[in-house]
């Protein structure tokens, strides 16, 4: 058992029992009366005869998909897509081809400009942007060459709601119901960042924490915040009180995800103990399943919380999909090795309507120059491969939660003569899905 937890009150999410289970894994037994379950070996069929699917990448049908629209820029560009896939923001030097103060543009899903904000202080030389709360907020950071600058929250019409001075980068996260906002602020000097929690009714700061720069934040719809730091994991109530906190030894590599409603928590371990766990509010372990060794074991819940995907499992981009109604493994797959290349899964989206899985797959080929080929891989509800879509080489990809929209950004060396341009490209995957609303 890991060291004694710090107790700061119990919350509705099972508090200390839940987080103790996340940290110490199987040290917490299942509820009384639960029948023993055998862990399926990744090399053998599961108890219901479900076998591992090995996917030959070159045999997956290659489907061409033309962007629904694109926007070109003469300067470097970064983009963010809203969770619901209905808007995209691009942080740029604005597209007149001349060096100018940076800013951002917000577009709807048809490519129509919603708003444009220009950071008129010409000392600013870099900017980044992120859409939050299903596109209701635009979180923008603009900095000078010395990394001093400001972090701001804007509404969809470009009205500024909040501004904070920064001395480095800042990363924002928000609850989907728009009730809470967190800002992870990295100082220019020093190894620790500060995580601020705001209530958005009046933009009041509720509390702040010292964390590592790579800390991750997950919100539930009701505003509870789960923070995974380098050496601890802690749960924060909507009012800012720490409900529970446990140390997280550096030797234990964990990924933790909070379901959209906050009713369940999933966790994966890496290294020699490569497993996935799922817990309910009471801290009861609902899923405890063995994974392949060697992957990053990322986690994604479907929006309706019927499915849980574990991705980048093992050394060949494995995907495991769990049915949360039964707690059983629905399907699992690995890609066959590609000679002279490495295949990884960087992100997964689950579409509740069609039950299809969309994965961002990256095939890396060593250089010089090194090359990353980016694809979308679409699997049917039973895990059978449906299509792969080539998005470009050495690009950045963002997906909506349903996987029905993907936004791709390309960046080349700046060319003020306009011969080389960078692009934000909007892909609508509707043709690959049944006729359901996005």
CA 301 from centroid of its chain's CA atoms: 11
Q: What is the pLDDT of residue 382?
A: 92
Average pLDDT for the chain: 82
- Laid out side by side, the sheet with 204-211 consists of 170-174, 180-185, 193-199, 204-211
Least trusted range by pLDDT, from 1-15, 69-83, 367-381: 1-15
- Laid out side by side, the sheet with 254-258 consists of 254-258, 265-269, 275-279, 285-290
Domain ranges, ordered by start, for the chain: 8-26+51-432
* Segment (H or E) for 20: helix 15-24
Q: What is the pLDDT of residue 343?
A: 96
Neighbouring CB atoms inside 10 A of 359's CB total 25
Taking 50 as the threshold, does the pLDDT of residue 397 lie above it? yes
pLDDT digits (tens, 9 = 90+) for 161-211: 999 988 877 899 999 889 999 999 887 676 789 999 999 999 999 999 999
Contact 249, 216 (CB under 8 A): no
Percent of the chain with pLDDT over 90: 53
pLDDT bracket for residue 146 (50, 70, 90): low
Average pLDDT over residues 88-113: 79
* pTM reported for the whole predicted model: 0.85
Taking 90 as the threshold, does the pLDDT of residue 97 lie above it? no
Fold category of 8-26+51-432 in CATH: Methylamine Dehydrogenase; Chain H (2.130.10)
Average pLDDT over residues 83-105: 76
* Segment (H or E) for 88: strand 87-93
* Segment (H or E) for 23: helix 15-24
Residues 6+ positions from 343 with CB-CB distance below 8 Å? 57, 316, 317, 335, 337, 361, 362, 363, 364
What 3-state class would DSSP assign to 236?
Answer: strand
Q: What is the pLDDT of residue 43?
A: 46
Cα–Cα distance measured from residue 81 to residue 403, given in angstroms and rounded to the nearest whole number: 11
Is the pLDDT higher at 413 or at 434?
434
Neighbouring CB atoms inside 10 A of 354's CB total 19
Out of 92-96, 229-233, 257-261, 387-391, the most confident range is 387-391
pLDDT digits (tens, 9 = 90+) for 321-377: 999 999 999 999 999 999 999 999 999 999 998 899 999 999 999 878 889 999 999
Q: What is the pLDDT of residue 39?
A: 41
Average pLDDT over residues 390-411: 94
Supply φ then ψ for residue 364, to 5 degrees: -100, 130
């Amino acid at each position: 058992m890991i060291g004694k937890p710090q107790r700061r009150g119990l919350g509705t999410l099972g508090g200390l029992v839940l987080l103790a289970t996340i940290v110490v894994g199987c040290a917490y037994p299942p509820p009384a009366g639960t029948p023993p379950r055998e862990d399926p070996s990744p090399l053998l069929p599961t108890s219901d005869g479900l076998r591992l699917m090995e996917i030959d990448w070159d045999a997956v049908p290659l489907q061409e998909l033309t962007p629904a629209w694109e926007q070109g820029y003469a300067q470097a560009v970064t983009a963010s897509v809203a969770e619901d896939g209905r808007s995209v923001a691009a942080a740029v030097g604005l597209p007149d081809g001349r060096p100018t103060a940076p800013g951002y543009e917000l577009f709807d899903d048809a490519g129509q400009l919603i708003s444009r904000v220009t950071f008129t202080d010409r000392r600013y030389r870099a900017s980044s942007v992120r859409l939050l709360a299903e596109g209701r907020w635009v979180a923008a950071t603009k900095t000078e060459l010395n990394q001093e600058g400001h972090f701001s929250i804007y509404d969809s019409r470009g009205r500024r709601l909040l501004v904070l001075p920064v001395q480095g980068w800042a990363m924002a996260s928000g609850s989907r119901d728009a009730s809470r906002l967190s800002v992870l602020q990295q100082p220019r000097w020093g190894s620790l960042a500060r995580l601020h929690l705001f209530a958005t009714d009046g933009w009041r700061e509720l509390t702040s924490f010292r964390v590592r720069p790579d800390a991750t934040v997950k919100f539930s719809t009701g505003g509870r915040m789960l923070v995974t730091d380098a050496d601890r994991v802690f749960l924060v109530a909507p009012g800012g009180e720490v409900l529970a906190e446990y140390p997280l030894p550096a030797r234990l590599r964990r990924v933790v995800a909070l379901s959209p409603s906050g009713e369940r928590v999933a966790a994966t371990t890496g290294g020699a103990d490569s497993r996935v766990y799922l817990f309910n509010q009471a801290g009861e372990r609902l899923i405890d399943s063995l994974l392949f060794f060697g992957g990053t074991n990322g986690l994604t819940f479907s929006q309706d919380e019927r499915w849980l995907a574990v991705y980048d499992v093992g050394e060949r981009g494995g995907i495991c999909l769990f049915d949360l109604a039964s707690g059983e493994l629905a399907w699992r797959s690995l890609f066959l090795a590609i000679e002279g290349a490495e295949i990884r899964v960087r992100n997964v989206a689950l579409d509740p309507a069609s039950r299809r899985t969309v994965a961002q797959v990256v095939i890396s080929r060593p250089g010089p120059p090194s090359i990353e080929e980016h694809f979308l891989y679409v699997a049917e509800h039973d895990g059978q491969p449906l299509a792969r879509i080539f998005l470009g080489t050495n690009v950045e990809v963002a997906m909506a939660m349903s996987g029905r929209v993907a936004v791709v950004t390309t960046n080349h060396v700046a060319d003020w003569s306009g011969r080389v341009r960078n692009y934000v490209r909007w892909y609508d995957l509707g043709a690959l899905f049944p006729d359901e609303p996005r």
